Chains A and B, each alone.
Chain A
């Protein structure tokens, strides 16, 4: 508030606003030497993980813009992507054509799921996050119903490498060997042993430009208005429900693309578990990058991916080095992911409450002044 804050106070505020990234930088700085990985290995891993995760994380930005918080239901898009990939591998379409076909194929699925999710969230205003979180579990049940029981029996699936031997249902893992890293390897550049998937990064770059452009469009402005205050936006003639719906649909479709990029890098689909963890990881990474529930930028995404995945790579080895048990490190990184989300949520809620209180106080003061004026008259 004051203009001439001391340096100490400024530093303190900076730390308070960026506590999560700072904490993670400390953890990483502590764990990297302990893990004993060579820098080139580490760099290689991080670049790979950036390529495969950033697209997915970017899809979280638009619902945040529309004031709907962290979209835990981005897993719906991931499911759509997986279903598309299952079809594509059933038809034995390989390589880049396979990836492109899957991307086109997932669009109708994810639009449908996004519409469903968005309309449910419109009925649960004020608790979008917990609702989207439950939606992701609920849809996981439906996904299992479709993939495990309907595919092969009602929905035609023929290929033996995809279908379970019992005649219906999809195998636990569907191999994508024939399109493994085909996006990453096209135009890949190798710098001192670090493989840089240029094409994947180009696609990510295009998406970033899209998001920057989208913010300036009429729809993007509307979304931000809705995110600021739904009632004000409604009074200004914005169709609030429609805008929120669109934001979720865009997010879901993008998550579908992101999942396909992710899976072509991994080289196989864990049919029943790939998507369930995706939401958690992406949200944790975004928050590690210093985003909050109501504010997130592209910069947060990049910083978050680097910090979060560095921690993820080094924690097991560092844990083993400290305690002699690699499981400790495994549990530690899971704890970090959850802990970060918890801290970020708590900080967001306390901040929201504080600002609400401040507004209430200001209103009260204004009212008091008003009455005082009345009395003076």
Chain B
């Protein structure tokens, strides 16, 4: 009886650990989010860029984008919330728009085209994947700071 209880306890413990692990797997996925303030064309329609867009995430300004500029931030999890401060013309009034956007789980770098989003285009239009330009020159990787100088192994 005691053994059975112990076994159950252990299995429960492992199950809890697994559950936490799975949860972390879901909520911990990190993304890099890029915002473009660029004109884009979709279905024969083109959207105009506002004069300036300021991007706030969790109350902090992460980017200030004029026409044709790109900004970025990092985000953990799939529910990405931001506030956009849009100024249509120079010297004009700033209008705040609150936005929440689901980020696709399997994409590392997500590009959001803000004018496209604001124009109400469908998701596949304004959301695209960021592919890093291939700069694979394998620069001599710097040794980490700190406690070096010990023999690496027996040889």
Contact = CB atoms under 8 A, between A and B. Distances in A.
Given A94-B28, A101-B24, A105-B21, A178 B154 contact: no
Given A93-B24, A98-B24, A312-B147, A172 B29 contact: no
Q: How large is the interface on A (under 10, 10 to 19, 20 to 34, 35 or more residues)?
A: 35 or more
A274 B21 CA distance: 25
Interface stretch (A209-217, A276-284, A348-356): A276-284
B141 A171 contact: yes
A97 B149 contact: no
B59 interface: no
B95 to A, nearest CB: 32
B147 A281 contact: yes
B75 to A, nearest CB: 9
B147 to A, nearest CB: 6
Interface in B121-155: 132, 136, 138, 141-150, 152-154
A268 interface: yes
Contacts of A94: 28-30, 74, 76
Contacts of B27: 97
Nearest to A159: B108
Interface residues of B, number: 31
B150 A277 contact: yes
A92 B150 contact: no
B4 interface: no
A270 interface: yes
Contacts of B24: 93, 97-98, 100-101, 104
Given A92-B108, A104-B21, A165 B138 contact: yes
Contacts of A92: 29-31, 108
A137 B153 CA distance: 6
A173 B31 CA distance: 21
A241 interface: no
B1 interface: no
Contacts of B150: 276-277, 280-281, 334, 337
Contacts of A160: 132
B96 interface: no
A172 B108 contact: no
Q: Which of B132, B142, B146, B147 has the most CB of A within 10 A?
A: B147
A100 B18 CA distance: 11
Contact of B74 (A105, A178, A277): A178
A91 interface: yes
Nearest to B27: A97
Interface string A169-198: 001110000100000000000000000000
Contacts of A172: 141
Contacts of B152: 272-273, 276-277
B38 to A, nearest CB: 26
Contact of B30 (A95, A104, A141, A276): A95
B17 interface: yes
A171 B138 CA distance: 10
B154 to A, nearest CB: 5
Contacts of A281: 147, 150
A46 to B, nearest CB: 14
Nearest to B145: A266
Contacts of A93: 24-25, 28-30
B20 interface: yes
A294 interface: no
Nearest to A140: B153
A277 B147 CA distance: 8
A304 to B, nearest CB: 15
A288 interface: no
B28 A276 contact: no
Interface in B1-50: 17-18, 20-21, 23-25, 27-31
Contact of B17 (A97, A107, A178, A337): A107
Interface of B: 17-18, 20-21, 23-25, 27-31, 74, 76, 108, 132, 136, 138, 141-150, 152-154
Closest 4 CB pairs of A and B: A97-B28, A94-B30, A93-B28, A101-B24
6 contacts: A97-B23, A98-B28, A140-B153, A141-B153, A268-B144, A270-B144
